[in-house]
Each structure stands twice: as C-alpha cells, then as structure tokens.
Amino acid sequence: QVDKADILVSELLGSFGDNELSPECIDGAQNTYLKDSGISIPAEYTSFAAPVSAVKLWRSIAHLGGDVAFESPYVALLHAHARLADAKAFFTFNHPRDVAVGDNSRYVKETFVTGEHWSMLNGFGGYFETVLYRGKAGESTLSIRPSSHTEGMFSWFPLFFPLRSPILVPPRSSIEFHLRRVVHADQVWYEWWISQPAVSPVYNMAGCAYTI
C-alpha cells in the first residue's frame, strides 16, 4: 500500500504548457500518490498563441523536407520575428482535478486583429503561463508569454505552429486561428488551421506527422 503524499511536484511543463503530456501524467499520478486534500505544483497552466511573421524560421522549416515539415510544431527561439497581434489564451489545465469528468481534449478558435501595416503571416507562436502554487501570501508564477515573461528565465523557448503557405495580411485584418488538442487511447497531438483571412488545410490531421 502506498502512503499518499500531501504535495505532488512535477517538472513536465513544455513550451506550450501541455505539450509534454503534463495533464495526462499528473492525472495518472494523483489518484495513486496524492491525498484527496493534497496539492499539485504546478496548480494551473494556460497556453497562449499569437500570429507571427517569422520568415527566417519559416525558410528553415521549408528546407527540412517539403510539405510534411509543416505538419509539425517546433520549439524555437523566436528571435527575428514580429507578432502581428497580442497573444490570446487557449487551453487551461488545473491540478488536482476530478479525472472522472472528461479527458484533456480541447478545441479553441480565436480571432486576432492586426495593426496598421501590411504584414506576412508565417505561423503562430505558442507560449504558456503557470501558477505553481496558491497560498495565503499569494501566487507563485512563471511565464513565457511575451507580455508577462518572467524576468531572466530562459528555460523554455516558444512553440511555433507553421503555415505551409505564407499569407500577406492587409492592415487591420482579422486572423482566425483554430487549435485542437486531440487525446487518443495512446497518443496526443495538435491539429491547427486558419479560416481568415484565407482558409488553410488542417495541419497534422489525425496526427499524421506529429504525436506526443
């Protein structure tokens, strides 16, 4: 018999929060190792995404091997790039949770409005924020979201969701981004596409090129 713990600490956060199976791993551990009154560190994390122009990175992906290279997200230092709009929240996970209530599948559609200049859309930058612990004295947090980036932290680079065909975007345009987190019996993957200002194919459909 396992003596259950008061605190479950995990180091499974990826560049997009959940992209290293943190939700599934913590869900699996909590029932076996954590008391009903126990806490998890991290307690919560939220992924964010923003449309970006990143021509150099896009060209590097194109050189990897044709169209299939664009069916996978990439952890990359977004250095020579421009965000076309502020990042918006996508998926939030909380721990511990009632694992009997649904799985960790997600789907979110967000609309971004660009600024006053023409721009080139190459894909979407992915980031995360996390609340490690909530206590009487407040919250302990970490973030790689650009607007709230933890000072001096370089442990995570963003996750980049590429588009196969760059899109020239007029000023003050709407960009509609769809992102799905698919949970299968033994695999997890992302599918992504846009429906404005143009309609793209669904990337990584059915986990055809990338699974976690």
pLDDT in tens, the chain (212 residues): 778 999 999 999 999 999 999 999 999 999 889 999 999 999 999 999 999 999 999 999 999 988 899 999 999 988 889 999 999 999 999 999 998 888 999 999 999 999 999 999 999 999 999 999 998 888 999 999 999 999 988 889 999 999 999 999 999 999 999 999 999 989 999 999 999 999 999 999 999 999 99
Q: How far apart are CA 136 and CA 138, in angstroms?
A: 6
The residue annotated as part of the active site, out of 11, 129, 176, 191, is 11
The type of residue at 79 is H
Q: Quick check: helix, strand or coil at residue 18? A: coil
Q: Is 44 a catalytic residue?
A: no
> 0.75 cut: is pTM over it?
yes
Residues 90 and 45 sit within 8 Å (Cβ to Cβ): no
Q: Is 139 a catalytic residue?
A: no
The residue annotated as part of the active site, out of 20, 71, 110, 116, is 20
Tokens representing 110 are: 């967000």
